Amino acid sequence: MGRIKTAQVKGLGKEFIRAYPDKFSTDFDQNKSVLEGTRMKSKWLRNRLAGYISKLAKQRARGLVITAPLKVEPAEDEKERS
């Protein structure tokens, strides 16, 4: 059996992979270097996120997980113009 991930890791991991699906891959080290660019201070959290994101990417590659992209709502100025 695998290790249980916390809700924080799962939530952030899914959020990152939805927001930036093209930046992450199945490679842990590449995901770790992408996450180093963020303002994350915790090495523990960065490593857990990189591992969880690589797991999600592997599942997505096999077709097991379908993650919808984030819906970006138009700015309020654009809503008023419509």
Of 60, 47, 44, the closest CA to residue 34 belongs to: 47
Angle at 44 between CA 12 and CA 46, to 5 degrees: 45
How confident is the model over 6-60, as pLDDT tens digits?
899 999 999 998 898 889 999 999 999 999 988 888 999 999 999 999 998 898 8
Is pTM, for the whole model, over 0.85? Answer: no
Name the residue with higher pLDDT: 72 or 8: 8
Among the four given CATH numbers 3.30.1950.10, 1.10.60.20, 3.30.1130.10, 1.25.40.420, the one describing domain 7-62: 1.10.60.20
Largest CA distance in the chain: 54
Helices (H), the chain: 7-19, 28-36, 43-62, 76-81
| Residue 37, C-beta contacts closer than 8 angstroms, at least 6 positions apart | none
For the chain, the domains span: 7-62
